[in-house]
Amino acid sequence: MSGTKPAEPGKRSLHLRILDDLEGNILSGRWPPGHRIPFEHELTEAYGCSRMTVNKALTELVRRGLIERRRKSGSFVSRPQSQSAVMEIRDIKAEVQSLGALYRYRRISRAERAAGPAERKRFDLAAGARWVDVVAVHLAGPRPFCLEERLISIDAVPEARDEGFEQGAPGPWLIAHLPWSAAEHRISAVAADARVATLLGIEPNAACLVIERRTWSGGATVTHVRLTYPAGSHELVAEFAPSQHR
């Protein structure tokens, strides 16, 4: 009377198929943040399986941070957490303030322009793609702390057209306007060129830490940011403990 559904040959197990389906709906944006996903008993019916099976998929989505669950209310698509939970790249404002310094933000320039051919290739953009191109400096007290060079795809985030980014940095603004996305970080050291040295108030050729983050969703780049920190002002820390059940 029990022990059925032995997983047909060549097929992934049922709970993985359910997981893929749900995750697909979330990552594609079909189910935006805040959306209530079907109840367990509804999924049970839809897939013709027992509750434990759908529960396994839903539990995994919780672990991945894609949904949050509340008794009596249901399960809801989470809002993407700031940047990346893996490598703690926090909000620059919070970082400066945690150093005990006064945080200030100064926009240097903002332009709207077409993506060049090299950019289109590097960032998987369609022909005719356009950027909002922002340059800004984050300050800790009197000293420049970090130079931000930001590109935002107008196709992906059309609201960026109406934003001057004069008062607030693009990063926090984007978090509220971005769908679920993947990110890639590149971290390197460079010698400051003349322009960067001027903007950061350091000597030309001084050592800098550069963090580039490319964020994309559904194949195309959504935003790209290059953060340049004078040597010594910033350290990236990542801890990899084998376990940390919150």
Partner DNA sequence: CAGTGGTCTAGACCACAGT
Partner DNA sequence: CTGTGGTCTAGACCACTGC
Q: In the complex, which residues of this chain contact a second copy (CB under 8 A)? A: 16, 19-20, 23, 27, 52, 64-66, 84, 86-87, 180-191, 205-210, 229, 231-232, 234-243, 245
| Binding residue for DNA, selected from 33, 35, 59, 139, defined by CB under 7 A | 59
**Distance from first CA to last CA of the chain, Å, rounded?**
39
Three-state DSSP class for residue 200: helix
142 binds, among DNA, a second copy, none (CB under 5 to 8 A by kind): none
User: Min. distance of Cβ 185 from a second copy in angstroms?
Assistant: 5
Closer residue to a second copy, CB minimum distance, 88 or 159: 88
User: Min. distance of Cβ 127 from a second copy in angstroms?
Assistant: 26
Residue 224: enclosing H or E segment and its boundaries?
strand 220-230
Contact flag: residue 52 with DNA (CB under 7 A): yes
Instruction: Find how far residue 45's CA is from the centre of its chain.
Output: 34
242 binds, among a second copy, DNA, none (CB under 5 to 8 A by kind): a second copy
Contact flag: residue 39 with DNA (CB under 7 A): yes
Do residues 233 and 201 make contact, with C-beta atoms less than 8 angstroms apart? no
Three-state DSSP class for residue 82: coil
Long-range contacts from 133-136, C-beta under 8 angstroms, 24+ separation: 133/109, 134/107, 134/109, 134/110, 134/165, 134/170, 135/107, 135/108, 135/109, 135/110, 135/199, 136/105, 136/106, 136/107, 136/108, 136/165, 136/169, 136/170
User: Min. distance of Cβ 77 from DNA in angstroms?
Assistant: 13
Sites for DNA among residues 61-120 (CB under 7 A) = 62, 69-75
- Name the site residues for DNA (rule: CB under 7 A): 1-7, 9, 13-16, 39-41, 48-53, 55-56, 58-59, 62, 69-75
